[in-house]
A and B are shown apart, each in its own frame.
Chain A
Amino acid sequence: MTDLIVTNLETVPGREIIKHLGIVQGNTVRAKHVGRDIMAGFKNIVGGELRGYTELLTEAREEATQRMMGEALEKGANAVINVRFSTSSITAGASELYAYGTAVVVQ
């Protein structure tokens, strides 16, 4: 996957877009771990970073991005441009991480 360029710009710097292949997307819904939740409860008293949650969301976002990249590769793209992320909490304990962008072929 190293040859796939992912960017949130509307063009790929220094390259010309030959073909647009349409939107590609990836999502994942993650629930929290009980242990992490207990730690978070403690952190709600003293304040500070909730490292468990930070890692959880980083991993989840990476997975969503990977799925998006997978879809782009399937379409024969070599770049994904104008990537956007969004997060939505479905229930109190789970959130959806969503990544989307436009798959293109560049020179």
Chain B
Amino acid sequence: MGLLTIGILLLIGIIFGTMNERNHFSRIAKAEEELSDIKVFNIKTLPDNVEPGGALVTGNVVIAVDYFKVFVAGFIMLFGGRLSGFEKLMERARREALVRMQREAKALGADAIYNTRIEFSAVGQRPKKIGGAELFAYGTAVKYL
């Protein structure tokens, strides 16, 4: 790849990547506000006032980092240190997965989600190419009496 191509890709990456990230964070914040009545717990012990039954709810998202961040990360990796671009990526994906799980619980008319677990898996990874990160959240939705 010529230097020009890399330059263009970096420019596209920094413009769209930053825009995407900002929009996504504001969408997540809005959704979290909307779904704040669905409480999420990672404990297994249920209170006594729970309706019999319960349903498994899940939420997942596959998200990719932009070219600019991969490029910067490549540099940082030479010396070691904090990859803040990737930190943000993981945060975004994790929060999005939780929001989607909450949305499913809300659709079922549930009040809370217990025993929430969050899992990570790498998708489509190839040498020299950062694929996507999948964050998957699941738990048991219950209704209070």
Contacts and interface: CB of A to CB of B under 8 A. Distances in A.
Contact of B124 (A32, A45, A51, A54): A32
A9 B46 contact: yes
A8 B124 contact: no
A37 B24 CA distance: 22
Nearest to B140: A7
A5 to B, nearest CB: 6
Interface in A84-107: 85-89, 92-93, 95
Interface residues of B, number: 50
Contacts, number: 139
Contacts of B129: 44
B63 interface: yes
Interface residues of A, number: 37
Contact of B64 (A13, A43, A57, A89): A43
19 contacts: A5-B54, A6-B55, A9-B44, A12-B54, A14-B52, A43-B132, A44-B65, A44-B70, A45-B12, A45-B66, A47-B64, A47-B65, A53-B124, A58-B58, A58-B60, A83-B56, A87-B121, A89-B121, A95-B121
Interface of B: 9, 12-13, 16-17, 20-21, 24, 44, 46, 50-56, 58, 60-67, 69-70, 89, 96, 114-115, 117, 119, 121-126, 129-132, 134, 136, 138-140, 142
